[in-house]
Amino acid sequence: MGNPTGFLNVERNLPADRNPSERLGDWKEVHEHWPEEKIAEQASRCMDCGIPFCQSGDSKYAPQVAGCPVNNLIPEWQDLIYRGRWKEALDRLHMTNNFPEFTGRVCPAPCESACTLGINADPVTIKLHEVSIIDKGFEEGWVKPNPPKVRTGKTVAVIGSGPAGLAAAAQLNSVGHEVTVYERADRIGGLLMYGIPNMKLEKEVVQRRVDILEAEGIKFVVNTEVGKDITADELKAQFDSVVICTGATVPRNLPVEGRELNGVHFAMEFLGQNTKSLLDSRHLDGNYIDAKGKNVLVIGGGDTGTDCVGTSLRHGCKSVHQLEIMGAKPLERAASNPWPEYKQTLLVDYGQEEAIAEQGDDPRHYTMMTKKMVGDDNGNVKEVHTVGVEWTAQGPKEVPGTEKVYQADLVLLAMGFLGPEGGLLEQFGVEKDGRSNAQAEYDKFATNVEGVFAAGDARRGQSLIVWAIDEGRRAAREVDTFLMGSSTLP
């Protein structure tokens, strides 16, 4: 490495986020940026460790080990950043990741959990450097459309324009196949567009990549739901192969008394409508679930719950609380969570940071079970009744005397997702696994229907964007082999 003692002499550091009171007044990204010399200094901490666990995530052979699922060549581009060779760093990054501008913003960075330096020190700031490389690439004009020079005459339909669908489409197009991506929403991007709020991933960032893919020859068809607007048989008749990348969009429900009350919504209804209205009219059309002046209760402690907290605060909610049935994670790695597993520790994410600044305390309440919801005379939710739980070998057990009532005008269910929506897989005749996902082996991605493949959350269940990109890329290789007999794709 360029600086062999960097990991000894330089402490981990990150640019500060924008002040919560400032960023709550807009929908811009929360992160600040750093000058190149500071980024290069942080890159010098990469220690040439010999075995770069950071770049070797593998869900099949080592599912507990963290690391980058797309096998980013992390030590290589860290060294190139340190030496000021940014364009070469970009070339290395694009070798393994089609969309580093997405993962560099919203990926939880399993690579950093597996950084060798993290055994006894703070890991290298890998995620910061990934997004810095690609942002500089766009700023310098290095990221340009690169359409294939020769077309194969083969046609592929990709269903769904989330990260798995876009990655599969990009790879298949790069080797000359004619690719058409079908999206039921009015904009391309799937969860990148309507699932992740603007303050985490500004939609101009998504659209500029979509524009490049379109310039490279990919055809995008919006407002078209496969299975309804066009049937599976029609699609199979028109295309040589089909890749199902619809995601796992069935939300986990909460079957308690009062669930049917007005004001109780799934998180993605809330988040998706908010982003669409923001993009369509800067919220002037009123076509979204407004949290302004309301007591908001978010049920679910993951990233989606955090996004609901941040969005509610930007609407100007009266209060926001977040319930989690699990206990709080430890501040440091537990003995049962050793390196290089993904680090399970308590984090204060952007939404909680904003709630603390606005309300004075962390909005999260742990080991809380929702018992029922109570409405007013007009059928609107007004209260949520909860009880504390302790976890036993048999599951959560209620703790007497811990009952609590929360005032709530808006309840958002953010408890994860169960699998693909019904109908499409059945129409294709694709077999399902025990969790209702498309049955297809990892690294093969072929379903029981010849020429039909599945990748991303539709195959593996709810997961990370970086895993979706990995699956889309790998599925493209298998589709290319199916169409051509062999493949040069990685």
Encode pLDDT of 22-66 as tens digits: 999 999 999 999 999 999 999 999 988 888 999 987 766 666 778
* Residue after which a domain boundary falls, among 395, 415, 435: 415
**Banded pLDDT at 420 (limits 50, 70, 90):** very high
Q: How many domains does the chain have?
A: 3
Q: What is the CATH number of the domain that holds 405?
A: 3.50.50.60
Task: Please compute the mean of the pLDDT values over residues 414-435 and round it to a whole number.
Answer: 94
**Do 92 and 14 share a structural domain?**
yes
Does the residue 32 lie in any domain? yes
Task: Please compute the mean of the pLDDT values over residues 130-146 and round it to a whole number.
Answer: 98
**Do 187 and 314 share a structural domain?**
no
| Cα gap 174→168, rounded to integer Å | 10
**DSSP H helix total and E strand total for the chain:** 18, 16
**Do 231 and 163 share a structural domain?**
yes
Measured CA distances, 88 to 79, 83, 167, 341, 411 (Å) = 10, 10, 22, 30, 48
| Cα gap 352→59, rounded to integer Å | 30
Does the residue 189 lie in any domain? yes
**Banded pLDDT at 1 (limits 50, 70, 90):** low
**Do 239 and 374 share a structural domain?**
no
Asked whether the predicted pLDDT for residue 422 surpasses 90, the reply is: no
- 166, 159 Cβ separation under 8 angstroms: no
Residue numbers of the domain that contains 26: 6-139
- Amino acid 437: pLDDT: 96
**Do 232 and 185 share a structural domain?**
yes
Does the residue 147 lie in any domain? no
**Do 17 and 65 share a structural domain?**
yes
**Do 211 and 288 share a structural domain?**
no
| Strand partners of residue 12 | none
Nearest to 469 by CA among 146, 65, 191: 191
Q: Give every CB contact of residue 357 below 8 A, 6+ residues apart in sequence.
A: 20, 21, 24
Query: What's the whole-model pTM score?
Result: 0.95
Task: Please compute the mean of the pLDDT values over residues 78-88 and round it to a whole number.
Answer: 96
Does the residue 302 lie in any domain? yes
End-to-end CA distance of the chain: 26
- Amino acid 60: pLDDT: 65
**Do 422 and 411 share a structural domain?**
no
Does the residue 294 lie in any domain? yes
Does the residue 145 lie in any domain? no
**Do 362 and 305 share a structural domain?**
yes
**Do 337 and 271 share a structural domain?**
yes
* Residue after which a domain boundary falls, among 415, 441, 468: 415
